[in-house]
Amino acid sequence: MAATSATTFSIGSTASAGSKVSQVTQSKAFSINFNPKNYLRSFCGLKAVNSVICESESSFFGTESSIALNRSYSTKAQKHTDRSYRYVQPRASYKVAILGAGGGIGQPLALLIKMSPLVSALNLYDIANVKGVAADLSHCNTPSQVADFTGASELANCLKDVNVVVIPAGVPRKPGMTRDDLFNINANIVKTLVEAVADNCPDAFIHIISNPVNSTVPIAAEVLKQKGVYDPKKLFGVTTLDVVRANTFVAQKKNLKLIDVDVPVIGGHAGITILPLLSKTKPAVTFTDEEVEELTVRIQNAGTEVVEAKAGAGSATLSMAYAAARFVESSLRALDGDSDVYECSYIQSELTELPFFASRIKLGKNGVEAVISSELQGLTEYEQKALDALKPELKASIEKGVAFVQKQPVTA
Ligand X SMILES: NC(=O)C1=CN([C@@H]2O[C@H](COP(=O)(O)OP(=O)(O)OC[C@H]3O[C@@H](n4cnc5c(N)ncnc54)[C@H](O)[C@@H]3O)[C@@H](O)[C@H]2O)C=CC1
Ligand Y SMILES: O=C([O-])CC(=O)C(=O)O
Footprint on this chain of ligand X (rule: CB under 6 A): 99-100, 102-106, 126-128, 168-173, 182, 186, 189, 192-193, 209-211, 213, 238, 241, 269, 314-317, 320
Give the whole-angstrom CA distance, residue 325 versus residue 50: 16
In the complex, the smallest distance separating the C-beta of residue 240 from ligand Y, rounded to whole angstroms, is 10
Catalytic residue among 80, 139, 207, 269: 269
Residue with the shortest CB distance to ligand X = 103
Give the whole-angstrom CA distance, residue 326 versus residue 346: 15
Asked whether the beta carbons of 322 and 46 are under 8 A apart, the reply is yes
Burial of residue 324, with CB atoms counted within 10 A of its CB: 0-12 exposed, 13-18 middle, 19 or more buried: buried
In the complex, the smallest distance separating the C-beta of residue 286 from ligand X, rounded to whole angstroms, is 29
139 is catalytic: no
Asked whether the beta carbons of 374 and 20 are under 8 A apart, the reply is yes
Residue with the shortest CB distance to ligand Y = 303
In the complex, the smallest distance separating the C-beta of residue 303 from ligand Y, rounded to whole angstroms, is 2
Residue 11 or 169: the one with the smaller Cβ distance to ligand X is 169
Residue 186 or 373: the one with the smaller Cβ distance to ligand Y is 186
DSSP 8-class letter at 208: E
In the complex, the smallest distance separating the C-beta of residue 58 from ligand X, rounded to whole angstroms, is 23
Asked whether the beta carbons of 240 and 326 are under 8 A apart, the reply is yes
Backbone phi and psi for residue 267, each to the nearest 5 degrees, phi listed first: 100, -110
Residue 21 or 321: the one with the smaller Cβ distance to ligand Y is 321
Half-sphere exposure of 358 (CA within 13 A, CB side): 32
In the complex, the smallest distance separating the C-beta of residue 212 from ligand Y, rounded to whole angstroms, is 8
Give the whole-angstrom CA distance, residue 124 versus residue 99: 7
Residue 51 or 216: the one with the smaller Cβ distance to ligand Y is 216
Asked whether the beta carbons of 189 and 150 are under 8 A apart, the reply is no
Residue 19 interacts with, from ligand X, ligand Y, none (CB under 5-8 Å by kind): none
Backbone phi and psi for residue 337, each to the nearest 5 degrees, phi listed first: 100, 0
- In angstroms, how far is CA 277 from the centroid of its own chain? 18
Residue 21 or 111: the one with the smaller Cβ distance to ligand X is 111
In the complex, the smallest distance separating the C-beta of residue 294 from ligand Y, rounded to whole angstroms, is 18
- Give residues with Cβ within 8 angstroms of 139, minimum separation 6: none
Residue 173 or 362: the one with the smaller Cβ distance to ligand Y is 173
Residues of the shown chain interacting with ligand Y in the complex, contacts defined by CB under 6 A? 172-173, 179, 211, 241, 303-304, 306-307, 315-316
Give the whole-angstrom CA distance, residue 352 versus residue 376: 9
Residue 99 interacts with, from ligand Y, ligand X, none (CB under 5-8 Å by kind): ligand X
Residue whose C-alpha is closest to residue 269's, from 235, 222, 303: 303
In the complex, the smallest distance separating the C-beta of residue 211 from ligand Y, rounded to whole angstroms, is 5
Residue 119 or 182: the one with the smaller Cβ distance to ligand X is 182
Asked whether the beta carbons of 314 and 34 are under 8 A apart, the reply is no
Residue 267 interacts with, from ligand X, ligand Y, none (CB under 5-8 Å by kind): none
Consecutive H or E run containing 85: helix 81-88
Residue 20 or 173: the one with the smaller Cβ distance to ligand Y is 173
- In angstroms, how far is CA 288 from the centroid of its own chain? 30
Residue whose C-alpha is closest to residue 202's, from 233, 180, 171: 233
Residue 238 interacts with, from ligand X, ligand Y, none (CB under 5-8 Å by kind): ligand X
How distant, in Å, are the alpha carbons of 213, 241, 246 from that of 258? 27, 15, 10
Residue 103 interacts with, from ligand X, ligand Y, none (CB under 5-8 Å by kind): ligand X
In the complex, the smallest distance separating the C-beta of residue 324 from ligand Y, rounded to whole angstroms, is 11
Give the burial string for 89-124 (b: 16+ CB within 10 Å, else e): ebbbebbbbbbbbbbbbbbbbbbbbbbbbbbbbbbb
Residue 317 interacts with, from ligand Y, ligand X, none (CB under 5-8 Å by kind): ligand X
The CB density around residue 353, as the number of other CB atoms within 10 Å, is 8
Residue 307 interacts with, from ligand Y, ligand X, none (CB under 5-8 Å by kind): ligand Y
Residue 306 interacts with, from ligand X, ligand Y, none (CB under 5-8 Å by kind): ligand Y
Residues with catalytic roles:
269
